[in-house]
């Protein structure tokens, strides 16, 4: 987690950094002692959280916060102030939160833990969003595209079989065209109208029937023919 501490009072910065490290010891913390330094800092670096004193001496913290909001729309902005009256103003300025001086360790810990929970939730949602759902026999299996080696048609013309690094195969009723679209962003290439492969798991390419070529995937001994019209595109994709 990257955090900026912006305050013109050195003691306040030292104390706040100490409190932050009590909760997030691995945090990368940058500090600025006035408004000009703060503007230079946020123009050069990005942060997950910015703790900004409302009064910075040379500039208002709100000016710094406005620039930070434009440059880092996903960052959390927390105003620091010695006056509770500014809490209302902080929310009017679209701050995510505020803290009062002297700092309450429990309050700071709560803000940081909430941010950590949000990040964990985003990571989890992203991981789920990237998985593909394979449906067979009224059962749905969620697979990470990185675990899929190749997808082939099931021979009936109605569905596919999804093969994985573990050697397991999962039948699915979805057509090949649907899998091609779902896996387009994950390094897959359609080598034949009946087969879609993960480029990184191609083990070898060798001569096949009638002057053609075939390939084998990691973890499988099955020879997968390459369509004659796909050879050039495959070479380009593999840069060979």
Question: pLDDT, tens digit, for every residue of 88-115?
Answer: 555 555 678 888 888 999 989 988 988 8
> Number of folded domains in the chain?
2
Question: Do 76 and 151 have their domain in common?
Answer: no
Contacts of residue 231, defined as CB under 8 A and 6 or more positions apart, other chains included, come to 213
* pLDDT score of 118: 72
Residue 96's pLDDT is what?
80
Say if residue 39 is in the same domain as residue 109. yes
What Cα–Cα distance (Å) separates residue 143 from each residue in 21, 32, 208? 37, 46, 31
Question: Of 128, 146, 172, which closes a domain?
Answer: 128
Are 211 and 196 within one domain?
Answer: yes
On the question of pLDDT at 224 being above 70, the answer is: yes
Checking if the pLDDT of 185 tops 90, the result is no
Final residue in a domain of this structure, among 91, 108, 128: 128
Q: Which of 82-91, 106-115, 127-136, 183-192 shows the lowest per-residue confidence on average (mean pLDDT)?
A: 82-91
* CATH number for 28: 3.40.50.2300
What pLDDT sits at residue 171? Answer: 92
User: pLDDT band for position 47 (50/70/90)?
Assistant: very high
Residues 6+ positions from 194 with CB-CB distance below 8 Å: 152, 153, 176
Q: How far is residue 121's CA from residue 127's CA, in Å, rounded to a whole number?
A: 10
Q: Which tokens belong to 111? A: 């803000």
pLDDT higher than threshold 90 for residue 182: no
122 with 168, same domain: the answer is no
Whether 69 and 94 have beta carbons less than 8 Å apart is answered as yes
Note whether 101 and 138 are same-domain residues: no
The yes-or-no verdict on residue 123 having pLDDT over 80 is no
Nearest to 20 by CA among 66, 76, 73: 76
Give backbone dihedrals phi and psi of 72, rounded to 5 degrees, phi first.
Answer: -135, 75
H/E run at residue 202:
strand 202-207
pLDDT bin (cut points 50, 70, 90) of residue 135 is: confident
Among the candidates 128, 159, 181, a domain finishes at: 128
* Better-predicted residue by pLDDT, 48 or 96: 48
Least confident of 67-81, 84-98, 167-181: 84-98
Does 92 lie in the same domain as 142? no
150, 33: one domain:
no
pLDDT of residue 91: 55
Same domain as 139, residue 97: no
Residue 138 has pLDDT above 60, yes or no: yes
Q: Are residues 69 and 11 in the same domain?
A: yes
* Model confidence pLDDT, tens digit, residues 187-221: 999 999 999 999 999 999 999 988 899 999 998 89
Q: Is the pTM of this model over 0.75?
A: no
Domain range enclosing 9: 2-128
Q: What integer pLDDT is reported at residue 121 of this predicted model?
A: 56
Is the per-residue pLDDT at 125 higher than 90? no
Residue pair 189/196 in contact by the 8 Å Cβ criterion: yes
Q: What is the CATH number of the domain that holds 168?
A: 2.40.50.1020
């Amino acid at each position: 987690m990257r955090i900026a501490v912006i305050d013109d009072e050195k003691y306040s910065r030292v104390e706040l950094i100490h409190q932050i490290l009590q909760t997030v010891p691995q945090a990368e913390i940058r500090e600025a002692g006035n408004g000009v330094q703060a503007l230079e800092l946020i123009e050069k670096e990005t942060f997950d959280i910015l703790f900004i004193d409302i009064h910075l001496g040379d500039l208002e913290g709100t000016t710094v916060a406005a620039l930070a909001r434009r440059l880092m729309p996903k960052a959390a902005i927390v105003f620091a102030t010695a006056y509770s009256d500014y809490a209302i103003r902080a929310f009017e300025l679209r701050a995510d939160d505020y803290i009062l001086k002297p700092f309450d360790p429990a309050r700071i810990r709560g803000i940081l833990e909430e941010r950590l929970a949000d990040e964990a939730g985003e990571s989890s949602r992203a991981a789920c969003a990237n998985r593909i759902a394979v449906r067979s026999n009224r059962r749905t299996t969620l697979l990470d595209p990185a675990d899929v080696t190749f997808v082939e048609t099931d021979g009936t013309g109605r569905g596919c079989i999804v093969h994985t690094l573990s050697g397991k195969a999962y039948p699915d009723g979805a057509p090949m065209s649907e899998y091609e679209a779902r896996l387009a962003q994950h390094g897959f290439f359609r080598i034949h109208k009946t087969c879609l492969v993960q480029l990184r798991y191609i083990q070898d390419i060798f001569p096949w029937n009638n002057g053609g070529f075939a390939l084998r995937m990691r973890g499988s001994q099955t020879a997968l023919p390459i369509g004659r019209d796909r050879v050039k595109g495959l070479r380009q994709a593999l840069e060979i």
